[in-house]
Structure 1
Amino acid sequence: MSRALLDRWQVHEFAPGLYAERRDLKDNRLDRFIGRLLGRSAQLGSPLRRYDLRRFAARVQVLAEDLLAIDDVGLRSRAGAVRTLLAVEGLAEAPVAECFALVREVCSRQLGLRHYPVQLMGGYAMLAGALAEMQTGEGKTLTAVLPAVTVALAGAPVHVITVNPYLAARDAEYLAPVYEFFGLRVGLIVPDQEPAERSAAYAADVTYCVNKDLVFDYLRDRITQKRVRAGPRAVLDGWLAGPRAPAQARSKVLLRGLYFAIVDEADSVLIDEARTPLIISSDVDDPNGRALYEQALALAASLKKKGHYLLRPKERSIELTDAGRAAVGDFACGLSGLWRIPRAREELVEQGLSALHLFQLDRHYIIADDKVQIVDEYTGRVMADRSWERGLHQMIEVKEALAISKRRDTISRITYQRFFRRYLCLAGMSGTVTEVAPEMRSVYAMDVLRIPPNRPVVRRDLGQRVFLDSDARWAAVVQRAAEIGAAGRAVLIGTRSVAASELASCCLSAAGLAHEVLNARQDQREAEIIADAGQPGRITVATNMAGRGTDILLSPEVRQAGGLHVILSEYHDSARIDRQLFGRAGRQGDPGSCEAIVSLDDELFLAHAAAWRGWLRAQVSEAGLLPAPLARLLRRSAQAAAERQNSRIRRQTVEMDKRVEQSLAFAGRGE
């Protein structure tokens, strides 16, 4: 990789180790505070930055006109010349503009798609290490190929990170002809690959992968090479390794380094999923585990709320009171094993209480093939290879009367925050990220740039209706779906959980309305269901899965009738996720509409507006609806409280990760 490229990325020193990556940032509270202040400017918009992007896009369009008359042989010759310029000059504007113009023309010839000016703007923003906010349907997949080809031609490996294997495979296959035209090799990381296949995929110029696969492979590299050892050995290793590990050490690793990453649906990966660290663990036989967990669950079920434990649903935590600890101590009298260790038995019972009160079937997990499968709360997708730690997973298995899996002991762990900050250059794109611009700036040092849509958005927002109870809400949802479907339009009903989607399905079936359901139980049919969701009269019920990565294409009849209508049946903790769902309608200038039909009994209001609910019930009109101004105030207040809470949890996750890392390093088992 050229020195000019490293200078552009302001990298002057690597972390000692196996391959190129930044050192861990040593930021403090003041740094994070200043970062949040800088991030707030993105929420106000930056006319100067947007002018710079428009100017660059105009320059590319001028250059692209000269390429129309050149044949493929001539284009390849120009690509070779640009490759040389990029290697020498790095990401200077002149060779980058030439490269973007070439990519645009190649995409036109190979794929039949020519980048719009706004896509050129988005690509240039990402090349500068920014996070481009581009609305749903604006072609983020095609936009990402611009910076990916440019950086790969400059000599640095590129990782394009998506949220699920289907999207990674789809994009790698679809864009392969473009990369091949430039002499670049495309790699794909999918689950269950052999190590040799994974290593070959990471050796490619551009690698498409899923965030979890990438981070786990990074941790496996660290474990394989035993990078972190306790005490003086760690210092000695770092001094001996220098900025690069020896060739024989690198030969066994999967990755080539953390150079340039483009994160698709960046808010989902970098914010929503950043509440939980990534952990590699070893299976440990526990022959007496079931009896232990059954005892803990039985004891937990007998304890009284407030008297024996404090339940904090907002924080998703449970803590024993002094009376609760005394009750656990009394129960443990005469028992052996962990019951004889005060802290261990208290943690065991707290996990039992969590399994009973904080983790719900068909919301936080489903049962498939007689196994507990965790459901991602933000995407609605199953996380098949994930399990909860410290006995919680086994506790839930006992709760559901399933065979228990082996207990897992942590070998290595890292948070998304720490991992992604190690890239020499980190970029991203998303349809909804402005709301978390301050956190993006303070945590990842990424600026958020809003890219205007290619065509004006004509989606109609029909407002919100807040009913007194859930039954009234579902009756209104069914009635509305029937009306819209009868008009020849398509309907998408968004829900927060598997359970809610199946309840909506029951209500629709009772009314005799044909429909499709998309949730964690049907995730294998996701592409098929979404492909048909834009047909006349089609009603689709979906969890958050319908909001990421795939477009709902409207039939001409539906477009003529008024487009897709989106019904949000329950507000999410973050307004971003509501916006993702609404963004399914009205893509690329299509007609469409959206509305929210919710209830005062919804989880958001129960958790973050409980003190208001009694007073609000008295304000409900004779029609059973909360007045519109109060409904707006309630939503904004509850979502603001939820966002503050979730941001606090993410900060605590990072602090906990640092403490655990220190203890693991002391034991010689760090990342």
Structure 2
Amino acid sequence: MLGALAKAVFGSSNDRYVKKLEKVVARINAFEPVLEALSDEELQGQTAKFRLALEQGATLDDILPEAFATVREASRRVFGMRHFDVQMIGGIVLHRGEIAEMRTGEGKTLVATTATYLNALEGKGVHVVTVNDYLAKRDAEWMGQLHRFLGLTVGVIVPNLNEAERRAAYEADITYATNNELGFDYLRDNMKHERSQMVQRPFNYAIVDEVDSILIDEARTPLIISGPTDDKSDLYISVDAVVKRLPADLYEADEKSKNVSLTEDGVEWAERALEEAGLLEGSNLYDVENTQVVHHLDQALKANVMFKRDIDYVVKDGKVIIIDEFTGRMMDGRRWSNGLHQAVEAKEGVQIEPENQTMASITFQNYFRMYPKLSGMTGTAATEAPEFFDIYKMNVVTIPTNVPVQRIDEEDEFYKNTADKFAAIARLIRQRQEIGQPVLVGTVSIEKSELLSEYLNREGVKHAVLNARFHEMEARIVAQAGSLGAVTVATNMAGRGTDIQLGGNAEFRVEDELKDLPEGPDREAAIARIKMEVAEQKDLVLAAGGLCVIGTERHESRRIDNQLRGRSGRQGDPGMSKFYLCLEDDLLRIFGPDTLFSRMMNSNLADGEAIGSKWLSKAIETAQKKVEARNYDIRKQVVEYDDVMNDQRKVIYEQRADIMDAEAVDEVVHDMRQDTVNTVVGDACPPGSYPEQWDTAGLVARAREVLGVEIPLQEWLDEDGVDPEQIEERLAALADAHMAARTADQPEVWRTLEKSILLERLDHYWKEHLATLDALRQVVFLRAYAQKQPINEYKQEAFGLFEKMLETIREDVTRILATAEFRFQQPQDMALPELPAFLSGHIDPLTGLDDAGGASSPSVEAMLSGLGSAVPAAGDNPYADLGLSRNAPCPCGSGSKYKHCHGAVA
């Protein structure tokens, strides 16, 4: 009560914070008359002036008011758009490393230019992170005009760029990219063998667009780079055939976690069926020998029972393509992990591609926390504010709208079943279309959008369907969704990135209708006509009530519902929103108190009848909060587990960087050799033991095998008072002398060789370690039955495994350098190879789902051909007469250096 009274009198803490920022905006506005008087050249000269001030000791906060005013004036000249005061507040929030929550249509893309420009003045690089390639390219081209006008360089990272192009984009003052491309480039950089091959600069500042989508929705799933393993296509097909015959009463499905488990009778049935198929060793399914079969059986069950075609995936051109549950987009090139994708391919009867092994991985939480300063913007973040602060230490600041919101949000309507609900929705849409009001309908799956489309066809409603099948046209369909009488059915409106303008989008209409009309008076007249038609249509749409938004069911997350609602009521426009629900909706069926709903609605509602109740709406919101809390717990758990790996990842990546930067690694190799000597002697002569207890034969054998030396151990032991420390010293001296003799002839070649072997062994064992940690994470939860905390057990086990890995690396590097035979016939070929194009994925560690959107990856065939490709012979070099530098990119377009490709020495 007192809290509500204080809030009414003094405003919320958010209101008070925004009011303080208005003082900074007043200082920005004071510069406006001065800057308006400058010529274009003088305005562009502001950038050099700011950079000089920074060099002389000024801070970014010192120059913020004038810099923001400069961006505002440049925007007015370049785009004809002047930043609103609330947009300036949003820019200040972004500069301070916080999250700006701004409603849809408030111009977040333009807001980002202020903080981007200010922070780019330091020359350390600014990353603007978007949710898909279309937005990255669009924003880089669009906002890039403003930045280039002010003298800054702009780069964009999209799929299929070669390494030289990526490096150039990262060197720019401002780089636009998707979250996936940034994360994968970081992982790939830390698999390179030369510093010159790396593309990214040190982290500085990032602005994340649709920050809730990237740092919340996609944060449960780590980014993974992987390579292929053995082909097991026949096993997948055989197990799938068994599962397809499995009676439905022999398994239990848990839709919450997307898991399927066999009943006791189901296990017996599966054992007999697998035995008949010749897939079972012995008669017990859970014998150790059948571990792989059990794994394939579990994945085949999941694929056949839990994963639905046209909801979780589509089959296109003979390939299974995942659909992103948050955006409704097809994610071409992304694959589920742990054999799940192969199981779905077997289910659908398409070609099965090989499984992959993890080479490197990182979560978005740990990737983005590496930025010294991180900020974000979105229309919906307040519901997740505690998580943003807990994980990323970012506050959420709600920015007021430029014009008060006029949208009317109506109460939800409940129906008994989907048929009644969709029939009611179709009737409402027909009524709205008849009066010319545009309608946007949000569905949760392709299946639902196509079912609704059938109902609309029966009502004679002309409409457009925007889902994963037609995502190529999504920007244009969304842009025209505000046209007079337009009806647009969309799988999900999260992060679409295109404004719905009432009356339609004149720019897109010009592109579509006048693409073949050349420049001239006719084109100008046509453009004027289109603009006039759009203006007239806007007046009619406003009179009809603005954009009508209809939700066909509630999403698990309130944010996604709010994103859909937020499409209406842009910049003070009128509008309305309404959600239609029924007992068959996933949220009510899985998470709601179904017995209470069922009793009340089935007994009191006639077919086709609807009810609306604040109590029911409250119950739905409570269910959504439960799901959100559960998903937060999952993400928090992922962070806790990945933090363990992240500490180890930092050690390995720093070690790699040190090795690549070093001219020579002989000191590192010497230390490894010394540690190996200590381990060899320590194993044979344990501390506190007597000489007669020592494993002398084992010590001699290990010294020969690992260090390449023969030791006169018996002579040493015949001396009085010899101890393990003396043995270590003598063995180390012998090993050093042996290595000195091996490296004496060609020290430069050995220097390169040591570096190469060190990096190769480090990468090999790190890859094996990742696989071990993945396996450990899958089973450590069982320790809870012994009253032990799984995360603590994981930390202890992971630390022990890491120590063991480092010890193995030291010993293996020492053994190879001391005992392997090398032939140095062609010193020029000692240069390290380019990194192959590995597969990239975005995998949920708990369910094995791949949730990444955005960039496409190379096919397995392309990757395998890259791994196995031979260096072209010198005689096959068509570029021999061009006089190319050996370090220049090869003209063939492979992305490799000339010296590693067609310029290789035969």
Q: Scaled by the length of structure 1, what TM-score is found?
A: 0.85
1:619 shift after superposition: 5.8
Structure 2 match to 1:270: 215
TM-aligned CA deviation for residue 385 of structure 1: 2.0
Q: Which residue of 2 aligns with 1:608?
A: 591
Bigger mean CA offset, 343-352 vs 481-490 = 343-352
CA distance in 2, matches of 1:421, 1:659: 15
Q: Which residue of 2 aligns with 1:335?
A: 279
User: Is the 1:417–1:444 contact (alpha carbons within 8 Å) kept by the matching residues of 2?
Assistant: yes
SS state at 2:410 partner: strand
Q: What letter corresponds to residue 437 of structure 1 in structure 2?
A: A
Do the aligned residues in 2 keep the contact of 1:519 with 1:545 (CA within 8 Å)?
no
Q: Which residue of 2 aligns with 1:290?
A: 233
CA distance in 1, matches of 2:265, 2:615: 41
- By how many angstroms is 1:308 displaced? 5.6
- The CA deviation string for residues 61-103 of structure 1, in whole angstroms up to 9 with x for no partner, is 1122321111122223333212222344464433111111111
For residues 378 and 91 of structure 1, what CA distance do their matches in structure 2 show? 40
Q: Do the aligned partners of residues 501 and 44 (structure 1) sit closer, same or farther apart at CA in structure 2, a change above 3 Å counting?
A: farther
Q: Does 2:516 correspond to 1:516?
A: no
Structure 1 residue 260: deviation in Å?
0.6
Aligned to 1:150: 118
Provide the secondary structure at the position in 1 that maps to 2:219: helix
Aligned counterpart for 2:18 among listed residues 43, 47, 50:
50
Does residue 172 of the first structure (1) align with residue 140 of the second (2)?
A: yes
Q: Which residue, out of 250, 274, 279, partners 2:195?
A: 250
Q: 2:476 aligns with which of 528, 535, 538?
A: 528
Gaps of 5+ in 2: 1-10, 504-537, 653-763, 771-906
Secondary structure in structure 2 of the residue aligned to 1:667: helix
Give secondary structure in 1 for the equivalent of 2:361. Answer: strand
Amino acid at match of 1:624: E
1:654 to 631, 634, 639: 639
Report the secondary structure of 1:668's partner residue.
helix
- 2:155 counterpart letter in structure 1: G
Match of 1:104 in 2: 72
Inter-partner Cα distance in structure 1 for 2:55 and 2:137: 29
Name the residue aligned to 1:77.
45
For structure 1, which segment, 326-335 or 552-561, has the greater mean C-alpha deviation from structure 2 after superposition?
326-335
C-alpha offsets along residues 563-596 of structure 1, whole Å, 9 cap, x if unaligned? 1101111110011111101111110111111111
Is the CA contact (8 Å cut-off) linking 2:494 and 2:560 kept in structure 1?
no
Give the residue type in structure 2 aligned to 1:313: E
Contact 1:276–1:415 (8 Å) recurs in 2: yes
Please say if 1:432 is aligned against 2:375: no
Amino acid of the structure 1 residue aligned with 2:634: I
Distance 2:58 2:21 in 1: 19
Q: 1:653 to 1:561 in 2, by over 3 A?
A: same
Secondary structure at the aligned position of 1:67 is classed as helix
Does structure 2 retain, via aligned residues, the 8 Å contact 1:313–1:607? Answer: yes
Shift of 1:626: 3.7
| Shift in alpha-carbon separation, 1:47–1:563, aligned structure 2, 3 A | closer
Say if 1:61 and 1:471 are closer, same or farther in 2 by CA, change over 3 A: same
TM-superposed deviation, 1:497: 0.8
CA apart distance, 1:172: 0.7
**Native 8 Å contact 1:379 1:545 kept in 2:** yes
Distance 1:90 1:332 in 2: 73
3-state SS of the aligned residue for 2:556? Answer: coil
Question: Residue 8 of structure 1 aligns with which residue?
Answer: none
Structure 1 pair 619/195, CA: closer, same or farther in 2 (3 Å)?
farther
Shift, 1:322, TM fit: 6.2
What amino acid does structure 1 have at the position aligned with 2:560? I
Matched position secondary structure for 1:187: strand
Deviations 1:130-157 (A, max 9, x none): 0100000000000001111111102221
1:631 and 1:290 mapped to 2: Cα distance? 49
Distance 1:401 1:446 in 2: 47
In 2, Cα distance between equivalents of 1:279 and 1:561: 50
Matches within 5 A, 1:293-308: 293-303=236-246
Note the C-alpha offset of 1:313.
Answer: 1.4
Partner of residue 226, structure 2: 281
In the alignment, which residue of structure 1 is the partner of 2:428? 480
Change (3 A) 1:323 1:257: farther
TM-fit CA distance, 1:646: 1.6
Offset at 1:316?
Answer: 2.3
Aligned-residue offset at 1:323: 6.0
Paired residue for 1:570? 553
Letter in 2 for 1:180: R
Which residue of 1 is the match for residue 737 of structure 2? Answer: none
CA distance in 2, matches of 1:657, 1:585: 39
- Residues 106 and 178 of structure 1 are in contact (CA less than 8 Å); yes or no, is this contact kept in structure 2? yes
RCO higher in 1 or 2 (8 Å CA, sep ≥ 6)? Answer: 1
CA distance in 1, matches of 2:256, 2:279: 34
Contact 2:60 2:118 in 1 (8 A): no
What one-letter code is carried by the residue in structure 2 that aligns with 1:595? Answer: K
Residues 611-658 of structure 1, C-alpha deviations (whole Å, 9 max, x = no match): 444334346444622441332123112211211222222223334545
In structure 1, give the amino acid aligned to 2:580. Answer: I
Question: Which residue among 87, 90, 95 is the counterpart of 1:122?
Answer: 90
Show the counterpart of 1:641: 626
Identity of aligned residues (%): 40
Residues 206-245 of structure 1: matches in 2 within 5 Å?
206-225=174-193
Query: CA separation in 1, counterparts of 2:279 and 2:148?
Result: 67
Contact kept in structure 2, 1:328 and 1:346, CA below 8 Å: no
The separation in 2 between residues aligned to 1:258 and 1:318, in whole angstroms, is 42
CA distance in 2, matches of 1:546, 1:530: 12
Q: Does the 8 A contact of 1:440 with 1:446 survive in 2? A: yes
Return closer, same or farther for 1:91/1:661 CA change in 2, 3 Å cut-off.
closer
Task: Determine helix, strand or coil for the equivalent of 1:651.
Answer: helix
| Count, aligned residues | 603
- Is 1:624 equivalent to 2:568 in the alignment? no
Are the counterparts in 1 of residues 441 and 550 from structure 2 also a CA contact under 8 Å?
A: yes
Native 8 Å contact 1:87 1:155 kept in 2: no
Amino acid at match of 1:166: Y
Q: 2:292 pairs with 344, 347, 362, which one?
A: 344
Which residue is equivalent to 2:899? none
**458 and 344 in structure 1: CA distance in 2 versus 1, 3 angstrom threshold:** same
RMSD: 2.4
User: Match for residue 260 of structure 1?
Assistant: 205
Larger Rg: 2
TM-superposed deviation, 1:175: 1.4
| SS of residue paired to 1:412 | strand
2:412–2:578 CA contact under 8 A, matched in 1:
yes
* Residue 318, structure 1, aligned to residue 416, structure 2: no
Flag the 1:340–1:259 CA change in 2: closer, same or farther, 3 A.
same
1:288-318 CA-to-partner distances (Å, cap 9, x unmatched) read: x23211232244445567x865432112233
Write the distance in 2 (CA, Å) between the matches of 1:616 and 1:349.
41
Partner-residue secondary structure (3-state), 1:544: coil
Supply the distance in 1 between the matched residues of 2:271 and 2:290 (Cα, whole angstroms). 7
1:545-560 → structure 2 map (5 Å cutoff): 545=493, 548-555=496-503, 556=538, 557-560=540-543
User: d(CA) in 1 for partners of 2:500 and 2:29?
Assistant: 29
Is this contact kept in 2: 1:547–1:584, CA < 8 A? no
**Whole-Å separation in 2 of the counterparts to 1:94 and 1:426:** 20
Report the TM-score when normalising by structure 2. Answer: 0.64
1:325 to partner: Cα distance? 5.3
Q: Contact conserved, 2:416 with 2:602, CA < 8 A, in 1?
A: no
SS at match of 1:463: coil
Residue 535 to residue 211, structure 1, CA distance change in 2 (3 Å): same
- Tell me the secondary structure at the aligned position of residue 459 of structure 1: strand
Matches of 2:305 and 2:31, distance apart in 1: 62
Deviation at 1:321, TM superposition (A): 5.8
Distance in 1 between residues matched to 2:647 and 2:339, nearest whole Å:
22
2:370 maps to what in 1? Answer: 422
Q: Which of 745, 749, 766 matches 1:668?
A: 766
CA contact (8 A) 2:83 2:110 kept: yes
Question: Which structure 1 residue ranges, 5 or more long, are not aligned?
Answer: 1-42, 226-248
1:579 equivalent among 541, 555, 562: 562
Cα deviation for residue 182 of structure 1 reads: 2.4
